[in-house]
Every structure is written in C-alpha cells, then in structure tokens.
Amino acid sequence: MNSIQIRDVTEADFVRIVALNQAEVAHTSPMDRADIARLHDFSAYHTVITVDDVIAGFLLVMGPKSGYINDNYGWFKKHYNDFMYIDRIVLDIDYQGKQLGHALYRDLFSFAQQHGCQYVVCEYNVEPSNIPSAKFHQRLGFVEVGSQWLPGGKVAIFNDKADTAPAVQVENHGGQKKVSMQCCQLVSQ
C-alpha cells in the first residue's frame, strides 16, 4: 500500500459504495444508488478511504440534528444530545486487517472533536453475532450502553454504563436481530 488517502465522498463514488455495501450486506442493510444519495444528504460526515486511488472503504455518519429516520439512530437521539452516529463502515475484503478502519475512525474522532461533539456512537449485531465488529469497537474504546431487538416489536435495554443512559427498561420483542448500542466518549485534547 503506497498511497492512502481519506477524502469526502463525491457523487461519482456512489456506485463503488453500493458495491462495497452489497458485499457486506449481512452486517449492514441493503442500499441502492438512490438510497446512498439520500443517506449522503442526511450525513454529517461521509468519507472514503483510497489505497493507490482505489476506494477501499467508506464511513457514513449522521449528526444529532439529522433528519435521518432509523430505529438505532432514534435510540441514540433519545439518550444523547451530542453525538456522531456511525450508520455504517464498510471495507473491501481485500483491504480488511490493514488498519484502514482505524484510520477512518481516527479521522472521524478528529472531525467530531473539531465540531465540539463529545460522543461517537454505533451499534453492531449480537444476534446474529458480528464478533469482528465487536472486537474492533472494543479496541477503539467503545462500551455497550444498551441493546435492542430489531425489526419487530422491539425490546430496548438501557443500563448505567454511560453517564447519560437511564435505568433498565424492557419491552416485549418479536424481532430476529439484536444489536448492541455502543458509545465512545471522546477525550478533549
């Protein structure tokens, strides 16, 4: 890997982003070109990482005032005033394990701090499990602040692992997918 660059997404990148997302759809949600254009418009931060001018991955993030409607984003909006929500990060399989995800997150952390944001949040699957994502986020300082079942009659479990999370609350669920709600509190430099 000779030349690595992180840059803002352009419309010309949408086709590659859709292809990258499709390759990892088991861990993300499906999207087409129209979906990525809509998500891009909602985003506060949307970058690609290139290796020798080839798009190796992307990171899509929503800010706290986004008009984005999503169950997981909505969960964080209820519990945090000041956050950057990682909607998805995807790396081409040929570029995984090369610290590119860390580079994207370090760039996001810097962006968030420059904008006075204290928390970076995300979720990952625990049922079905996404162990690589769990390990990746733990290494970067993310901690679980709750969980919820998706898509049907959701259960939300809130705990006291973060200053802003309320006590435990459980609702009936009928969903097939459980996600772990994660938060990384940024330290001011």
Model confidence at 151, in pLDDT bands (50, 70, 90)?
Answer: confident
Residue 160 has pLDDT above 50, yes or no: no
Contact 68, 77 (CB under 8 A): no
pLDDT-wise least confident of 25-34, 107-116, 139-148: 25-34
Count other Cβ atoms within 10 Å, centred on residue 33. 12
Model confidence at 174, in pLDDT bands (50, 70, 90)?
Answer: low
What pLDDT is attached to residue 175? 52
Q: CA 23, CA 180: separation in Å to the nearest integer?
A: 22
- CATH (domain of 165): 3.40.630.30
Residue 164 has pLDDT above 50, yes or no: no
Q: Kindly list the distances between the CA atom of residue 136 and the CA atoms of 4, 39, 57, 123, in Å, as whole numbers in the listed order.
A: 20, 24, 15, 12
pLDDT in tens, 48-75: 999 999 999 999 999 999 999 999 999 9
CA–chain centroid gap for 92, Å, is 16
Domain boundaries, position 58: 4-185
Q: Kindly list the distances between the CA atom of residue 168 and the CA atoms of 128, 146, 160, 187, in Å, as whole numbers in the listed order.
A: 23, 9, 8, 27
Mean per-residue pLDDT, 26-45:
94
Residue 172 has pLDDT above 60, yes or no: no
With a CB cutoff of 8 Å and minimum separation 6, the contacts of 181 are 72, 75, 76, 121, 123, 144, 145, 146, 147, 148
The total domain count for the chain is 1
Contact 180, 124 (CB under 8 A): yes
Residue 130 has pLDDT above 70, yes or no: yes
Q: What average pLDDT does the chain have?
A: 87
